[in-house]
Amino acid sequence: MYKDLLSTMGIDMRDSSGWLKTEKVRGGGQCGTLAMKYQHVRHHGSDDFFSRMSSRLKSYDILIEEIENYIWMHRVACYVEKHYSNLRADALAAWEKKTDITTAINIATKKRLTLLVRELKEKLEIIGNSVSYTSVKEAKERHLGSKALKAELEILAARRFQRLKATCAEHSLSIINEWALREESAAKAEIKTLKETIQEIENNLRRDENAIKADGGAHLFASTMSGNTVSARSSVSSSRSRSSRSRTSLQ
């Protein structure tokens, strides 16, 4: 029923251009088949390509995480060395304080300053027996060991960082290159199929005048615009010729 209604409105329902066909058949146009072919070419291989790119990008993320790990290794080494440096400084300061109090106690004892000796001994008890020359020496050895560890970790982290940085650069360039080649090949295939589709549409429009008349009057607008363009060009050229003639007469 709707076909009859559209036919009475001047719309061609014979499908002579083949827009409703899904398979190639002899006779008539193949516009629909080629249009579907173009859509298939556009999406052909996209799922496999994006799946492969997703896998490669995940492996690239793993490389980035490894680089970050070696950067953190370098920072941890710095923190360890700083920690033992502070412990060494605290041990040395406590030992110097204990030595100063002991010296003051001896001087106060010689001068028989009983009250001062009692106060200094109380301060000495607060410091405790844990502070000694041995503790200072051990703190120094731990600090020197942390410095040696820091140097070794820095060398290891720098070597691994440079190696992984080169690997990441190669990996990223490989991904970009593969993506560019994919885009180039897909664009070429799309252009080829699109040319075939456009050529088929143009051939059907030239062959079937009813299809042109059924387009809602767009062909009339196109012809009017083309006529206006031609007339405008001719008027411009005639005005230019008149102006050149006037200039010649004046000279």
Q: What share of the chain is helix, strand, coil (3-state, %, to 5)?
A: 85, 0, 15
Which domain CATH number covers 47? 1.10.287
What predicted TM-score, i.e. pTM, was given to this entire model? Answer: 0.49
Q: What pLDDT is recorded for position 176? A: 92
Q: What pLDDT is recorded for position 165? A: 85
Burial class (CB in 10 A: 0-12, 13-18, 19+), 217: exposed
Write the pLDDT tens digit of every residue in 134-186. 889 999 999 999 999 989 888 888 888 888 888 888 999 999 999 999 999 98
* pLDDT greater at residue 32 or residue 64: 64
Confirm whether 64 is domain-assigned.
Answer: yes
Residues 6+ apart with CB under 8 A from 160: 66, 70
Nearest to 198 by CA among 41, 42, 44, 31: 31
Q: Tell me: pLDDT of 100 over 70.
A: yes
d(CA 98, CA 110): 19
d(CA 30, CA 19): 7
Confirm whether 160 is domain-assigned.
Answer: yes
Confirm whether 83 is domain-assigned.
Answer: yes
For residue 165, what are the domain limits? 28-207
Confirm whether 14 is domain-assigned.
Answer: no
Confirm whether 98 is domain-assigned.
Answer: yes
Count of domains forming the chain: 1
Question: How many CB atoms are located within 10 Å of the residue 46 CB?
Answer: 11
Confirm whether 147 is domain-assigned.
Answer: yes
Confirm whether 219 is domain-assigned.
Answer: no
